[in-house]
């Protein structure tokens, strides 16, 4: 029995079968749903039902985590991975209702692992032509959204409860966006030394990252153009020769580069 369970887990988490791919897409859907759950429940009072759902999500994440540890080839390396500790943080936040919203933002860290899973990205390339053609832009958009969600969750966790301006995720998201875009209306500010240090961190690290990812979204560094000689697909936007074989390439532009 144990051998069959082990073989099934290895198939679902590591193999390339259709059942394994469906399972991993289901995991992605589950994680997106947990993020939606965290955001929506920030707007309403926490009832017994919500706490019970927290526990259910936490148990499901714990089962997923245990399965990943079981199939890991090198468990020591697995536990050195940041995504592993993001999983642990997510479990703690869901399984410790007494901690309340103080740890709620940690659930969003789970997106970091799933949205950067190589197998999932590889499967998206195979399954969707749209993804293959716009991979750089889509990955940049995902990275940008994850960064915004994590930053928003951090601000909400630190400020909620004692800052009257941060009442829910929408308020924290508003502050995050106005800071990242350097708009800074000033109607919402973070209180105390911790809040000011967090604001400095968002401005110092976040603005640079935000501008870089936004540049990739609206002005990608690579364009898709197949070289007629060697078949290289991606080239610099201003390239006149193929970087692989040296053949002349004629990339259509709109005069932006």
Q: Could you tell me if 222 and 235 are in contact, meaning their C-beta atoms sit under 8 angstroms apart? A: yes
Output the pLDDT for position 71. Answer: 87
The span from the CA of 139 to the CA of 152, in Å, is 20
With b meaning 16 or more CB within 10 Å and e meaning fewer, what string describes 68-104? beeebeeeeeeeeeebbebbbbbbebbeebeeebebb
Sign of the torsion angle spanned by Cα atoms 67, 69, 71, 72 = positive
Give tens-digit pLDDT for 118-155. Answer: 556 667 777 777 776 677 777 777 777 777 877 887 78
What predicted TM-score, i.e. pTM, was given to this entire model?
A: 0.67
Find how far residue 165's CA is from the centre of its chain: 26
Tokens of 78: 């697995």
44 vs 256, which has greater pLDDT? 44
The span from the CA of 35 to the CA of 109, in Å, is 9
Give tens-digit pLDDT for 71-129. Answer: 888 888 888 877 788 778 777 777 765 455 545 556 666 666 655 555 566 677 777 77
Across all residues in the chain, what is the average pLDDT?
76
């Amino acid at each position: 029995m144990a051998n069959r369970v082990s073989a099934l887990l290895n198939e679902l988490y590591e193999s390339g079968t259709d059942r394994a791919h469906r399972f991993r897409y289901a995991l992605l859907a589950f994680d997106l749903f947990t993020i939606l759950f965290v955001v929506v429940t920030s707007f309403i009072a926490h009832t017994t039902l919500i706490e019970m759902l927290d526990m259910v999500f936490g148990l499901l994440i714990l089962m997923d985590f245990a399965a990943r540890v079981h199939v890991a080839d090198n468990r020591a390396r697995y536990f050195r991975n940041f995504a592993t500790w993001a999983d642990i943080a997510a479990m703690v936040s869901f399984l410790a209702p007494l901690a309340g919203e103080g740890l709620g933002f940690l659930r969003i860290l789970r997106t970091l692992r799933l949205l950067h899973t190589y197998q999932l990205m590889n499967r998206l390339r195979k399954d969707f032509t749209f993804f293959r053609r716009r991979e750089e832009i889509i990955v940049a958009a995902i990275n940008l959204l994850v960064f915004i969600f994590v930053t928003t969750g951090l601000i909400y966790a630190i400020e909620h409860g004692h800052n009257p301006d941060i009442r829910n995720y929408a308020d924290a998201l508003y502050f995050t966006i106005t800071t990242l875009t350097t708009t800074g209306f000033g109607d919402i500010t973070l209180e105390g030394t911790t809040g000011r240090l967090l604001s400095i961190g968002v401005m110092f690290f976040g603005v640079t990252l935000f501008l870089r990812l936004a540049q990739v979204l609206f002005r990608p560094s690579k364009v898709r153009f197949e070289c007629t000689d060697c078949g290289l697909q991606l080239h610099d936007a201003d390239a006149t020769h193929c970087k692989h074989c040296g053949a002349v390439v004629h990339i259509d532009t709109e005069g932006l580069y």
